[in-house]
Chains A and B, each alone.
Chain A
Amino acid sequence: DTEVTQTPKHLVMGMTNKKSLKCEQHMGHRAMYWYKQKAKKPPELMFVYSYEKLSINESVPSRFSPECPNSSLLNLHLHALQPEDSALYLCASSQENLLGQGERGYTFGSGTRLTVV
């Protein structure tokens, strides 16, 4: 299995809603990531989890709350979002140690397209 699976594919939520994005991988990767991508822009890093511990938070507002329940799962809990948070949210995973690992790099999921109304 060489995939990162994200659900749901599309999500529309109101500014007072609470929702969660889910990400799953079974490649044995020990690093998992959340990225946000606006139209015609590159992905921007939000969070990095390494061995199920949060290692990087790129000053993301607290209305985004990540969670890594185990080495295969990554969630992003959303609460009180703003319309400007509408974007494609991408999950990715990688081997924790990239050095000399052959064909490695990040594997991205297809993303969740989020619309905040």
Chain B
Amino acid sequence: QKEVEQDPGPLSVPEGAIVSLNCTYSNSAFQYFMWYRQYSRKGPELLMYTYSSGNKEDGRFTAQVDKSSKYISLFIRDSQPSDSATYLCAMSANAGGTSYGKLTFGQGTILTVHP
């Protein structure tokens, strides 16, 4: 079993739709949770960073963390064609752990928003 599971999709939605992306994880040492967006042939770009359970909002993006269920989500409201990219969830362990500093990624979900 992988430490982080993410449905690779692909996911295709019409412009304006609400997009929901999800990851589950098995390692309870993960304390920091990130969502990255990666356009083709580019490096990952940090969208959201959280370290506590609950919701965090930034513009059209909302990140949700449920540590009790080991489940994180990213919601994109009013999706645009420019949101078409691969979305990667990523997690890092707490300080003092042997894996501190290491980022563990999900497989990535390919999203296409069509006009």
Interface residues of A (CB under 8 A from B): 4, 6, 31, 33, 40-43, 45, 48, 50, 55-56, 88, 90, 92, 94, 96-100, 103-111, 113
- A108 with B43: CB separation less than 8 A: yes
Q: Which residues of A contact B90 (CB under 8 A)?
A: 105-106
Q: Which residues of B contact A106 (CB under 8 A)?
A: 34, 44, 46, 90, 103
* CB contact under 8 A between A56 and B101, given known A90-B44, A109-B43: yes
Interface of chain B residues 24 through 64 with chain A (CB within 8 A): 31-32, 34, 36, 41-46, 49, 51
- A45 with B43: CB separation less than 8 A: no
Cβ contact of B32, chosen from A55, A98, A113, cutoff 8 A: A98
Interface residues of B (CB under 8 A from A): 31-32, 34, 36, 41-46, 49, 51, 88, 90, 92, 94-95, 99, 101-103, 105-108
Q: Give Cα A102 to B13, complex, Å.
A: 32
Q: Give Cα A48 to B103, complex, Å.
A: 10
Cβ contact of B51, chosen from A90, A100, A109, A113, cutoff 8 A: A100
Q: Which residues of A contact B106 (CB under 8 A)?
A: 42
- A98 with B103: CB separation less than 8 A: no
Q: Which residues of B contact A96 (CB under 8 A)?
A: 101
Q: Which residues of A contact B45 (CB under 8 A)?
A: 108
11 further A-B pairs in the complex, CB-CB below 8 A; given A105-B90, A108-B36: A4-B43, A40-B108, A43-B88, A45-B103, A88-B41, A98-B51, A99-B94, A105-B32, A105-B34, A105-B46, A107-B46
